[in-house]
């Protein structure tokens, strides 16, 4: 687990929300690595938190997990979301193709 503190405002395309200065939230190590890779220096501070083997990893109830509405996103947002998910983007991909790729994941 990792604890993320927001230092500069940014739009979280994966969780489809705005993150403002001072926000603190927990993410998986994989998601923390994505944030470190994608965001410029100075946007977040990430503290890696050790979890004991006895404690199950925190998971949100299925009712609270909302699938992003990819169809309402711009092509630039879709490209960014594909990159965040590690999806290869075909040359000359249309918005519809990007939505399809993201929906398959």
Return the bridge partners of 2, or none. 27, 48
Mean pLDDT for all residues in the chain: 82
Q: Is residue 43 domain-resident?
A: yes
The answer to whether residues 44 and 72 belong to one domain is no
Of 103, 105, 43, which Cα lies nearest the Cα of 73?
103
Assess whether pLDDT exceeds 60 at residue 54.
no
Over residues 64-79, the pLDDT tens digits come to: 556 678 888 888 888 8
**Predicted pLDDT at 57:** 59
Same domain assignment for residues 37 and 74: no
pTM of the model: 0.48
Same domain, 79 and 43: no
Verify that 12 and 44 share a domain, yes or no.
yes
**Which pLDDT score is estimated for 10?**
85
63 in any annotated domain: no
Structure tokens given for 54: 């006895």
Is 102 within 8 Å of 85 (Cβ atoms)? yes
What is the per-residue pLDDT for 64?
A: 55
Q: Residue 88 pLDDT more than 70?
A: yes
Find the domain containing 37 and state its range.
2-48
Question: Is residue 22 situated within a structural domain?
Answer: yes
Number of domains into which the chain is organized: 2
| Residue 12 forms part of a structural domain | yes
* In-domain check, residue 39: yes
């Amino acid at each position: 687990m990792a604890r993320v503190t927001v230092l500069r405002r940014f739009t979280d395309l994966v969780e489809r929300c705005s993150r403002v200065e001072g926000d603190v939230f927990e993410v998986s190590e994989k998601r923390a690595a994505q944030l470190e890779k994608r965001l410029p220096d100075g946007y977040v501070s990430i503290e890696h938190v050790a979890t004991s083997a006895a404690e199950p990893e925190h998971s949100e109830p299925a009712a609270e997990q909302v699938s992003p509405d990819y169809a309402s996103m711009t092509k630039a947002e879709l490209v960014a979301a594909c990159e965040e998910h590690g999806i290869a983007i075909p040359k000359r991909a249309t918005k519809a193709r990007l939505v399809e790729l993201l929906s398959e994941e």
